Each structure stands twice: as structure tokens, then as C-alpha cells.
Structure 1
Amino acid sequence: MGSLEGHLLPGIGFFLYSLYYSVLTSLALLREQKVLKHPMLLRKLWGHKLFWQVSYEALVKVLVPIFGIFGEFFYPLGLNRLQMIDWKDPRRPFVFKDNWQHATMFGFFVLSGVVDMVSQSRLAHWGVKLERAAEALAFYVVILLMATHIENKSSMEIRVHLLLMVPSFLLALVITVEIWVPNHPPLWILKCWLGLVFSNWMFQICEMYVPTTGQPWRSDSPTDHAFLTVFFCWYMALAAAMFITIYGLCSLWHYRYSSWKKTPGARYQRCRMESTGEELEKLRAETLAQDGVV
């Protein structure tokens, strides 16, 4: 869907996923975890036992793109763009190019989610490498299709999609490195930042359909082109600030939660073997006073 709704859905999906991943990364760094653990769904959901142990991440990867695919072909309701070839035309031309490109992008993210589900439940040893490979493939597909997606577009649309390809390529590169260098905290942070840049820039594309100034972006204006690049740089700084904020909030929660878990009790104190009875009684009285016992 080359429209506001068509860019808003993946933008929201990527943004929520980036926030979720940023929280996981922040907590993992605070807890000094060596492995980034993803929360799993409960074994029983709505009273039914799940056949597979599924993570929230994998579920989102499958459900959100499926909604996107449905929207590409059947939104607004009543339309049907599922046709790929116009059989009524003797030349048999391909039709609905943009929709099929978007659906293909969504489809590879669905594939990534399915791979996550299978690997998390069946392939304990090779699971992580397989998950990262499928995720990297999805972003490489985005880049490949985006290269042809911008054909026959206005110069402004070409510019905004080229800028979107920058975080896409870097994300694909980082995830590819994770295949061979897993569980590396700097890569976790870089992935969070790039994900926030990618999702925030999707919102900027949405803004171009409904300009905040009330005036449309002009493809024939060098100034508009220049400011578009300026805004992209600002979005990179905004993404970094967002991750720092998330880390700070998680830090406050982590230390506050850790303090709640501490239970009061008698402190260990060394007692010399040659201590007299009076010294032992004095030490016992001090210990009771520390515990708040009168």
C-alpha cells in the first residue's frame, strides 16, 4: 500500500519491536547477561496447551506482517489486488507491482518468525544462528526490492526510500555478523539503535503523506531535499536519545527492584574463639538491635 496506512502499519510494528528489543538489551546489560534471553509465551494460553514453546518476538514477526500482506491485497475492503497478471490484455502484463513487492517483504519477515518458532522449540544447538540468518535475509530482501521499488517515482520519494535503505543495509550487516559473533553486547546496542532509526524514519514517510506544515513536499525544491537529509540525521540522534532513555528507565527499575528483593536479616559477624561470655552477650545485643528486635 503506497499510502499513509501502508507505511504506518510496518512503522508501528518495527517501532514496538525496537522498543521491546531495547528493553531486553538494557536489562541484559544491567544484569550482565552473556546471552540475550527472549521471554516465552506461557505453556498454556487461554486454557489450551501450546504444542510449541513460542517467544513473543516470533509471534509478532508472524502476526504483524500477515496483517500487512492482507492490507496490500484487500485494503480498502472490497478491493482485490491478488492478481499478478492481466490475462485480459493480450500482452499479459504484470500488474500491482508495488503491492507484490510489499507483500514479498512482509512474507520474508513471516518466514523469519516461523524460523524462530521452529528453532526455539526443536533446534536448541543451531537455533540462534538459524534465527539470525533468516532475519538478515529478510532485511536483504527489503534492500533488493527497494532498489526497484523506487523506479518511476518522484525525486522526493526516491530520496526518502534511499535513506530508508541505509538503516536496512546496516541492520542486515549487523545481523549477519551476529551469525558468527553471537551474544556480543555492542552488536545488541547497535541493532537497537538501527531499529529505532528505521522505524522512526517510517513515521517520517507517513508524515510526507500528511505534512505537518499543511503544504506538500516539493520534488523540484533543492531546499526540501536538503532538509529531508537533515531530518534523517536528526532521527539518528533521536534514536540514540531514545535508547539512552530506555536504558536509564530500565536502570532505575532494575536497582529499585533489586532493593525490594533484599530481605532483612542478621548480618554475619566474626566472633573470636577466645571471646568471653560478656563479649558474646554484647555482640548478640548488637545483632538484635540491627534487626530491629527490642
Structure 2
Amino acid sequence: MGTLTGHLVPGIVLYGVGLYYAVLASRAILRGQKLLSPPLPPKEKQGQRWWQRVQVEGLVKVGAGMTLVLGEFFFPPGANHFPLVDWEDPRRPFRNHDSWQHATIFGVFLLSALADFASQVWLARPSVPLERAATALAVAVLLLEMGAHVEHKDALEVRVHALLLLPAVLMLLVLAAEVWAPDQPPLWMLKAWLTLVFGSWLLHVTSILYAPLSGQRWSAENPVDLAFAVTFFCWHLGFGAAALAAVYSLCSLCHRRHSSSGLGGAWGSYQTCPMDDSGGELEKLRPRGLSSGQGCPPAPSCALSCSFPELSEEAE
């Protein structure tokens, strides 16, 4: 990761994940969902294949994690940063410390994807707290490794990486809160905003350290450069909020357009089909044409009648 490409690729991935979170949170709020992602039915009622039940976040963790871990050790082609110990030296010193630090960060996020898969594929019911706890653990490892990563660096690298830690600390707190309260829309939006800030600032750090837009390298000895690093980071806080507001506005326009046209579809009002008949919730969602003793129709009809009662009424 100690190269332009090594900072650029994670920055792009994180910013893309931030936009994905922003769209997901905006749609969930507009549709009145109680959870960020629509819950899957119990395992025995799922008709999809296992890879169709995995959410995008887990797939991104696997793809990006494996690519970045391999890139740390074997990029550029022909390089080998995998040896951990120099066995030829009698003192047996450690080698490739930065590569192993970065690989540890990416590897823990890769392991958190396994928790996502276990929750969404193998457990009887998906466990949101398990998924959030695994991601929170990965962010905690990120904080520990980045704290050690800035040791023996110049003042500029310490400054830009310290600023990068701020959204990471707040993200850890948000994920920890979601373990116990996954149904809070403010946490959804805050997580999207922090991910956007983290991704955009990482991209800016790439420019500062490896490809300055002005063509002049930033100086760790110049207090003005160090001061502007903080100023630019504050701008990224505003840029992240503006991007989040823009995504929400676009989602709101699409939601209103589809609602006014009566198309519904992916942007229509969403209400999950209950998994049991407790509390009378199933009776409230059952179309008027069905008697109370008939029960909920099979899976496809149930999903249609529970999510869009008006469509069932028209069909009758």
C-alpha cells in the first residue's frame, strides 16, 4: 500500500462503498424500512441459491480483500514482499513490516466477510448484530495497525494519517452502536457519511504523498503545508455531507416519481412479510379476500400480497 496504486485502489473502493451505503440508507428511510436491508425469510423458506442471498457488502469485502492482500505481497509483478523474516541474517530480523501491516488490515476485513456469509447463508435467520460486530472488529484492527503505521514517519505522513483515524474512530462507535440498535436511521446516514469522508480523504492523501496536483511535493518541514492538510480535511467533511445529500435527493426524486405514477416496484412502499402469526401482524397484512383460516399464500404470493396489498386487491 506504500505506493500510489496501493492508496488509490482502497480509496476508490471505500468511496464506492460509501455511495452504496448512502443509496441503501436513503431508500430504507424513504420506504419506511425498520432495517437497513430487507430481512431474508427463515432458511427453510428460502428458495434462492446461497450466492443469491449474499449482500453486496460481503462480496465487495471478499473481492477487494483478496485483491489487496495479494497486491501487498506481489505487486508490482515480480515483487515478493511476503517473507516475514530474513533467514540469511544471523539476527533473524523481521522484513516487509508495512506490507504485513496492510495485509493484516485487509485480511481482517476479508474474515469479516465470512461472518456476513455465515449470517446470511448458514444461520437459520440472518444476524445483523453478528455482521456489525465482525465489521467493528475489523475497524478496530485498522485503528491499531494505523496507529503503529505512522511510527517513524515524517510530520506530513503523521498528520494526514492522524486525520484519517478520525472517521475510523467514529465509524467504530457507529458500528458498535448498530450491534444493539440496528434499526436507527441516523446511524445509517452517519455510517454512509463517515465512509464517504474516509474514502475521499484517502484519495486526497494519495495525491498529497505521491501525485500533488500542483506538481510540487508537499514538505513535512513547512508548517503551512501541515496547516492546509487540516483545512482540506475539513473540506472533505463538507464534501461527504454534500454527496450524501445529493444521493438522498436523487433517491427521493425517484421515489416520488414512481409513487406518483403508481408503478411502485423497487421504489414503492416496503413492508416485510411476517415470519409468524404472532401479534396479529399477519392478519393486518392479509388481503381482504382471504379468510382468517386460509393462512398466508406460498412464498411468491405472500411476498406480493404482504409488500403490495393494493396489487392483490386489483387482481381480485
Q: Same fold (TM over 0.5)?
A: yes
Q: Does 1:242 align with 2:254?
A: no
Note the alpha carbon deviations across 1:27-58, whole angstroms, 9 max, x for none.
11111111111699xx88xxxx5467211111
Aligned to 1:252: 253
Query: Partner residue of 1:15?
Result: 15
Superposed structure 1 runs of 4+ greater than 6 Å apart:
none
| Displacement after TM superposition at 1:257 (Å) | 1.5
Q: 1:154 to 1:39 in 2, by over 3 A?
A: farther
Matched-pair contact (CA < 8 Å) for 1:171–1:194: yes
Runs of 5+ in structure 1 lacking a partner?
Answer: 264-294
**What does 1:1-294 correspond to in 2, within 5 Å?**
1-37=1-37, 50=50, 53-125=53-125, 127-208=127-208, 209-261=210-262
What secondary structure, in the 3-state scheme, does the structure 1 residue paired with 2:252 have?
helix
In structure 1, the residue corresponding to 2:183 is in which secondary structure? coil
Alpha carbons of 1:226 and 1:38: their partners in 2 closer, same or farther (altered >3 Å)?
A: farther
d(CA) in 1 for partners of 2:21, 2:38: 9
Q: How many residues align?
A: 258
Supply the distance in 1 between the matched residues of 2:15 and 2:79 (Cα, whole angstroms).
28
State whether residues 26 and 246 of structure 1, in contact with CA within 8 Å, keep that contact through their aligned partners in structure 2.
yes
Residue equivalent to 2:270 = none
Given that 2:86 and 2:94 are in contact with CA atoms closer than 8 Å, whether structure 1 keeps it comes out as yes
Q: State the distance in 1 between where 2:204 and 2:263 align.
A: 46
* Matches of 1:83 and 1:14, distance apart in 2: 28
Shift of 1:173: 0.9
Q: CA deviation at 1:205?
A: 0.9
Deviation at residue 260 of structure 1 after TM alignment: 2.7
> Hey, what does 2:303 align to over in structure 1?
none
Could you report, residue by residue, the CA deviation over 1:206-245 in whole angstroms, capped at 9, with x for unpaired residues?
A: 1111000010000001100110000000000110010000
**Paired residues of 1:52 and 1:117 also in contact (CA < 8 A):** no
Partners of 2:13 and 2:170 in 1: CA distance: 19
Q: Which amino acid aligns with 1:218?
A: S
Contact between 2:61 and 2:110, CA under 8 Å: does it hold in 1? yes
Q: 1:152-203: CA deviations, max 9, x gaps?
A: 1111000000000110111011100111111111111111111111001111
User: How far does the alpha carbon of each residue in 1:56-76 deviate from its partner, in whole angstroms, 9 at most, with x for none?
Assistant: 111011111110001100000
Gap regions ≥5 residues in structure 2 = 41-46, 265-316
1:125 shift after superposition: 4.6
Secondary structure at the aligned position of 1:135 is classed as helix
Distance in 2 (CA, whole Å) between partners of 1:102 and 1:181 is: 31
**AA of the residue aligned to 1:221:** N
Which residue of structure 2 aligns with residue 285 of structure 1?
none
CA contact (8 A) 2:120 2:126 kept: no
Residues 106-145 of structure 1, C-alpha deviations (whole Å, 9 max, x = no match):
0011011111011012225561111000000111101000
Shift of 1:259: 2.2
- The residue type equivalent to 2:174 in the other structure is V
In structure 1, give the amino acid aligned to 2:257: R
> In the aligned structure 2, how far is the partner of 1:127 from the partner of 1:215?
50
Report if the CA contact (8 A) 1:39-1:56 is conserved.
no
Contact 1:167 1:198 in 2 (8 A): yes
2:300 equivalent in structure 1: none
Residues 1:179 and 1:261: Cα distance change in structure 2 (over 3 Å)? same
Deviates more, 1:114-123 or 1:129-138: 114-123
Q: Which has the larger radius of gyration?
A: 1
Hey, what's the Cα distance between the residues in 2 that align with 1:211 and 1:140? 30
Distance 1:78 1:231 in 2: 37
Which has the higher mean CA deviation after the structures are superposed, 252-261 or 18-27? Answer: 252-261
Q: Which residue pairs with 2:278 in the alignment?
A: none
Q: 1:8 to 1:51 in 2, by over 3 A?
A: closer
Distance across 1 between alignment mates of 2:172 and 2:189: 14
